[in-house]
Structure 1
Amino acid sequence: MNTIVSDWQIVSVMDKDEHIGDVLWATCVEDMTFRFFKGDYICTSRIIESRSNSQLIRTHSGSLYQTLGDGKHSVIQLRDFELLRNGFSPQVIQQLNDHTGQIIH
């Protein structure tokens, strides 16, 4: 097992109506690879395999994540992907876009 996460979301990245791929956005509980500290946010590379029965997610980079508890599904636009990679949750990105009524970057 590489990394255990909680408060997780599968985030679909869209370019208008085209589905680009899905990533995992979560909070680190424990990381055996020493890339993350407990409590750090994680935004993964593209998900290539998800096993709901064992709560395991494998990403394009080869990392393996075990998800704890129930997760959510969210959608963001490709133009907002850098915000996600920099720690903004999909919900905060949506609030920022709703509040400003325009692209925030």
Structure 2
Amino acid sequence: MRDIDLVNALRCISSEDGPTGDCKKCQFYKTVTLPEDLAAKVGAWEWSACDVDAVGFAAADRIANQNTNILALQLEIEKLRGQVPRRMPLPIVPEEGM
């Protein structure tokens, strides 16, 4: 799943006005078969919904993974910086006529 898809799912489940996109295209869209007694009450055998728990877990996993990657990259940057020789700054030479 791309980051933007996860961001859109987070925004969608957080929206006060309900879904913000085509739910059937979302990875977190699910259809559940209702028990007979509940199906009789609501007049349907299936119920469509967003698996908001899965959205939260996917977001938490993505953040944790990205933090791990960021830390590894920061360590690599520091390692590479240590390999670059430090140079003495060039002396400032005044211009003629000053």
If the TM-score is normalised by the length of the shorter chain, which range does it land in? under 0.3
More helix, by proportion: 2
With normalisation by structure 2, the TM-score equals 0.27
More strand, by proportion: 1
With normalisation by structure 1, the TM-score equals 0.26
Larger Rg: 2
